[in-house]
């Protein structure tokens, strides 16, 4: 019995010794904050690179788009019914500005221009009379230098008349296609070249009316 007790006591002491914590167990040096700081630092670098790439893409895009937007083409919405049936309210148009830096506006072109009476307002009209020409309107029919202009794009002529007017250099006579409902050169007079922004290049909206625009073919009638 005594030997068994000694054995039991010895095992008890051994278990007690095993259970005693070693001082190394309290060493927290391997739980340093450096690992957490490293993870945070890596994420910060990745986030910084992402922001840099986004900013770079935005700047490059602006460098490409802004010159095009300011000097080459501009978007406009049709406002009103003055150009019906060829252009309707809220249609989305792209205006070509670059062509008029090298060429003069031509008869039949649909242009966007500033209202000479209020340059904050923009119009969309068709060029009918060119510099130096004499424009006269009788019962809705336009005459250029005494010859009646055949305008196939007009559905309904108005009954209005306008006395003969000889255009000065750089002046244009512009009219809406909806002759009975258009505020144009019959009221505001000729429009100087400086007020012409650009010609209508294509219609982007609505999709079922997507179209580019060519000069109409004119015939003069005596």
Paired sense of beta strands 196-205 and 171-175, if any? unpaired
Catalytic residue among 125, 143, 182, 185: 125
Q: Is 185 a catalytic site residue?
A: no
Given a contact cutoff of 8 angstroms between Cβ atoms, the answer to whether 88 and 78 are in contact is yes
Which tokens is 193 given? 């070249």
Given a contact cutoff of 8 angstroms between Cβ atoms, the answer to whether 80 and 183 are in contact is no
Considering Cα of 214, then 90, then 175, then 94, what sign does the dihedral take?
A: negative
Residue appearing with tokens 């090298």: 102
**Residue/partner pairs of 190-193 with CB below 8 Å, 24 or more apart:** 190/129, 190/165, 191/113, 191/116, 192/116, 193/104, 193/105, 193/131
Degrees to nearest 5, angle at CA 83 with 81 and 88:
60
72, 105, 112, 71: which is closest to 91 by C-alpha?
112
Catalytic residue among 9, 32, 82, 147: 82
Q: Is 8 a catalytic site residue?
A: no
Residues labelled as active-site residues: 82, 125
């Amino acid at each position: 019995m005594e030997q068994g007790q000694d054995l039991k006591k010895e095992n008890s002491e051994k278990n007690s010794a095993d259970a005693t914590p070693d001082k190394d167990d309290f060493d927290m040096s391997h739980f340093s904050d450096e690992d957490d700081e490293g993870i945070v630092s890596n994420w910060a670098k990745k986030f910084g690179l992402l922001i840099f790439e986004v900013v770079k893409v935005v700047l490059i895009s602006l460098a490409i788009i802004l010159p095009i937007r300011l000097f080459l083409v501009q978007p406009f919405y049709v406002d009103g019914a003055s150009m019906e049936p060829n252009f309707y309210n809220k249609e989305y148009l792209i205006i070509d500005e670059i062509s008029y830096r090298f060429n003069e506006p031509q008869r039949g072109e649909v242009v966007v221009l500033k209202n000479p009476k209020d340059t904050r307002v923009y119009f969309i009209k068709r060029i009918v009379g060119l510099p130096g020409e004499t424009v006269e309107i009788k019962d809705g029919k336009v005459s250029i230098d005494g010859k009646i202009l055949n305008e196939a794009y007009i559905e309904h002529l108005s009954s209005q008349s306008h006395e003969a007017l000889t255009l000065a250099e750089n002046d244009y006579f512009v009219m809406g296609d909806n002759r009975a409902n258009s505020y144009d050169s019959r009221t505001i007079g000729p429009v100087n070249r400086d007020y012409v922004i650009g010609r209508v290049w294509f219609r982007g909206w609505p999709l079922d009316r997507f179209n580019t625009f060519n000069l109409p073919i004119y015939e003069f009638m005596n």
